[in-house]
Amino acid sequence: MDYRTKTLFSFSALAVAVFGTVSCGYNQQTRFQMSFLPPAPRPAAFSVELAEPPVLQPNIYLQDLPFLSTANLAPPRRTRGDSLVQQADQAFQRGKRFYQSNDLLAARTEFNRAIDLMLDASDQIPSDRQDYERRLDEMIEAVHRFDLAGLGASRDIQEARFEKAPLEDILQMTFPVDPKLKDKVRDQVMATVSQLPLEVTDPVLGYIHFFDGRGRKTLQAGMQRSGRYRPMVQRILDEEGVPQELIHLAQAESGFIPRAVSRKAAGGMWQFLTWRGQQYGLAQTRYTDDRMDPEKATRAAARHLHDLFNEFGDWYLAIAAYNCGPGVVERAVERTGYADFWELRNRGVLPIETTNYVPIILAMTIMEKNAEEYGLVGVSMDAPLDYETIETTSPVSLALLADLADVPLSELLELNPAVLKTMTPEGYGVHVPKGTGTQLMAMLQLIPPERRASWRIHRVSPGETLASIGKEYGLTAASIVAANRLETPEAVEGDRLIIPVVPRAEVPARRPLTHTSATVNHRRPAARRAATPAPKAPVVLTRTASR
């Protein structure tokens, strides 16, 4: 099967095929550079650049960025391969615009054409082979990621979507014990190293039997999702002095679904009730819910578990109290005189859900620590989410940030599950793809603070006019000309245009920041547009480690 035939398959299959046959030996980070910014360290995103820098379209909002002269650089000699690479990039940009407009059939056609052209360029000897391979790598990854996202950056989600906690129902159930498991599991536990004490009882064996049979898909799905958050969770548990095995509480509570909710209105990956979350700093507003933020909720859960252990002096009782509340466990201990989970379970003084909660976590721990014995070695975990956090000083639309970062809105929504709508309030820490924070800081300065909740940024694709762009957003060409201070009503391919979208929903109320940070300033280069300065507001970048 030749390369061109492979492009007719789905984007995901295409990514696998081309990586396996073309990109072996070079796996570089995807890079992105805005057309109006000077060359700089390129962040991880999913844009593929033109072979030559596009013509800059002067813009009053783009005048504060430094200018880098290239007058003394001799351009490399262009080849037929270079021309094909440029055509491929143009096809990719067309495909992305179709994708963002939800015309997925046209997007697929253009994406396939782009990959075809890139593969043809391989035979035409591009002037810079290493650069060509990097571009091909970037394009394949971008198409693959857009395909997985399902919808483009124009996706309009006003309300968060929540999911049911997958193990909520089985907390009410008990399962039969396979007699053949007893000796096997006891031997496994004897050879297992664990910070959390492991005991083998009939309830534990029953849940091992369940997860090794009917519940295997549920267990594997949670393990797979855990890959997104596992490094972050392990780091925080270690920092808070909590056994690493308690990561399985998140699997028992939510299956690592950040927006999981229960019948009792507990929410997030660690299933906090509102009042309990507030005790540990998880704030809720009309626009955000920190219980849904995996990192904030993990920190709160680890501290809560540590406090419970300090109170009861036993991890099983601490886990039980996490599920039903410390007051329930305290009264059970007082009534019976036993500070032992198994004794309290046998006496029926704990809620049925709690009596099964601890065995479920022990069963999951034993099975994962003996993954080969239970056929779990082949479970492929999702890649860890890698992001950094920017803190804005005005309400900001996630759609605008997606435009600036050149990623699908769905990717920002995945990084920010605590954002209940597509708008963040002032002073909120927004997670953005790793490596994009610095450029987003600079680019947000170009949008007036009072417009960041509604305005958009549009990259001009081949053949587009101001009229066609305006039609896409429900605007007139004149309004785009005015917003960008254009001297001529022309759309230049590759240029970034500010789109003055009229807000359709209320803007979150501004609230004071809890601390101040440094601001970003840039000098203004010469431009062929009006010199009226745009309002500015500082944007603070909080750098974080990979998660």
pLDDT more than 90, % of the chain: 45
Q: For residue 339, give the 3-state DSSP assignment.
A: coil
Of residues 543, 517, 544, 542, the one with CA closest to residue 236: 544
Check residue 534 and give its pLDDT: 37
What is the SS3 assignment for 27-90? CCCCCCCCCCCCCCCCCCCCCCCCCCCCCCCCCHHHCCCCCCCCCCCCCCCCCHHHHHHHHHHH
What integer best gives the mean pLDDT of the chain? 77
Rounded CA separation 547/540 (Å) = 20
Task: Check if CATH label 3.30.2320.50 holds for domain 163-374.
Answer: no
pLDDT-derived band at 167 (thresholds 50, 70, 90) equals low
Specify the pairing of strand 396-397 against strand 163-164: unpaired
pLDDT > 70: what percent of the chain?
72
Please give the Cα distance from 416 to 79 (Å, whole number): 44
DSSP label at residue 193: -
Please give the average per-residue pLDDT across 102-128, as a whole number. 79
100 burial type by CB count under 10 A (0-12 exposed, 13-18 middle, 19+ buried): buried
Can you read off the two tokens belonging to residue 14?
């295409």
Rounded average pLDDT over 62-74: 42
pLDDT band at 168, cuts 50/70/90? low
**Mean per-residue pLDDT, 397-404:** 92
Phi, psi (deg, nearest 5) at residue 338: -110, 125
Per-residue pLDDT tens digits for 467-486: 999 998 889 999 999 999 89
pLDDT(295) > 90: yes
Whether residue 23 contacts residue 32, with contact meaning beta carbons closer than 8 Å, is answered with: no
Q: pTM of the entire structure?
A: 0.64
- The answer on pLDDT for 389 being more than 50 is yes
Instruction: Tell me the three state secondary structure of residue 362.
Output: helix
pLDDT digits (tens, 9 = 90+) for 500-534: 988 754 444 444 333 323 323 332 233 333 333 33
Phi, psi torsion values for 289, nearest 5 degrees:
-140, 105
Among the residue ranges 164-168, 242-246, 261-265, 425-429, the one predicted with the least confidence is 164-168
pLDDT at 496 over 80: yes
- Helix, strand or coil, per DSSP, at residue 163: strand
For the CA atoms of 208, 213, 214, 218, the dihedral, rounded to the nearest 10 degrees, stands at: 70
pLDDT band at 237 (very low <50, low <70, confident <90, very high): very high
CATH topology of domain 387-542: Membrane-bound Lytic Murein Transglycosylase D; Chain A (3.10.350)
Domain positions in the chain are: 3-28+48-55+77-149, 163-374, 387-542
Q: What is the pLDDT of residue 535?
A: 36
